[in-house]
Amino acid sequence: MKALLYATLLLGLVAGSVQAGTILVVTDCQVPGVADGDHNDDSLVTFLQGLGHTVDTYGMNKTMQGVWDATDQQHADDADLIVFSRRTNSGAYNNPAQWNTQATPLLLQSGQSGYLTRDSRWDWTTGGSADVTRTETDMAIKAGQTGHFSLTAVHTITGPVKLFDWSGVPLGNNQSPKGIYNPLETDCDVAGTILVGTMDTATVRGMLLELPQGTDTGNGVLGAQRVFFSHWGYDDSTTGVNGPGGTPSEWEDYITQDYKNVMENIITTMIPEPATLALLAAGVAATLIRRKK
């Protein structure tokens, strides 16, 4: 009876203490609610919070450019996941060993899209990158990848997946859509890479790929899982006109619900769900009961 009581208390304490993850957002955009600077990533923060996670905004407003100091390192270590925004200057973050060896999972939400995946940056691919054809909207799923977590974890998604909707782009605006800047499919060949989806029927470019923990990039062995899921170039300033109606563009502009669903699938997998941790607690409790018998 005591064993059952102890196990029940353990399950309650562990399951009750489980919280959603902490996501460190890295971007050149200003923190939401702060008056100065641009706010292109406010909607990204809102989206992540809407999934139930705590967003650490320390990495916003260019804070984590260059070589990290002790405070930068602490925030990176304390996070359950790092989400690296499209709204960044890739050259200011070109410390590949620092980012690659960090033992926190990282979702490269673009970081200037494929600018950071290049072999002249973080070495996640073996070549450069270039813009996807502007009229493209869909991601094709690679053969054998229909069961990948990015397509199944919460929402079941089948290809081709419409990720972008350019119908709201301001008439005569030649700046958007811009910068779905992705590596060639043939360059997504670092040993261990899982290429899940591609865009652009003409040149075929990697849109969604996973690099497992332990992957040797040649510029640092990955300290945890990495995922690249590209975005368009919503990096105009506070005076930009790339958004709907000629407004400054934001993370959420021109992306579809399926784009957000893929994001949620990825994040849900990279951060343990409370239910998963509760099941682990139940397993510990069951083991304790057996040992007490």
Is it the case that residue 17 has pLDDT exceeding 50? no
210-243 pLDDT, tens digit per residue, is: 999 999 999 999 999 999 999 988 876 667 778 8
CA distance 98 to 125: 17
Assigned CATH class of 21-270: alpha beta
Quick one: pLDDT at residue 115? 82
185-201 pLDDT, tens digit per residue, is: 999 999 999 999 999 98
Highest mean pLDDT among 15-29, 153-167, 174-188, 277-291: 153-167
108-123 pLDDT, tens digit per residue, is: 976 455 689 998 899 9
Is it the case that residue 284 has pLDDT exceeding 80? no
Average pLDDT of span 141-164: 97
Q: Residue 96 is encoded by which pair of tokens?
A: 């590949």
The structure's pTM equals 0.86
Average pLDDT of span 129-138: 88
Is it the case that residue 283 has pLDDT exceeding 60? no
CB 70 within 8 A of CB 190: no
Cβ neighbours of residue 139 under 8 Å, at least 6 residues apart? 159, 160, 161, 163, 197, 198, 199, 207, 208
Q: Which run of H or of E encompasses 72?
A: helix 70-78
CA distance 247 to 236: 10
CB 46 within 8 A of CB 262: no
55-111 pLDDT, tens digit per residue, is: 999 999 999 999 999 999 999 999 999 999 988 888 899 999 999 999 999 999 764
C-alpha pair distances (Å), 169 with each of 78, 175, 191, 259, 261: 39, 9, 39, 17, 22
CB 271 within 8 A of CB 264: no
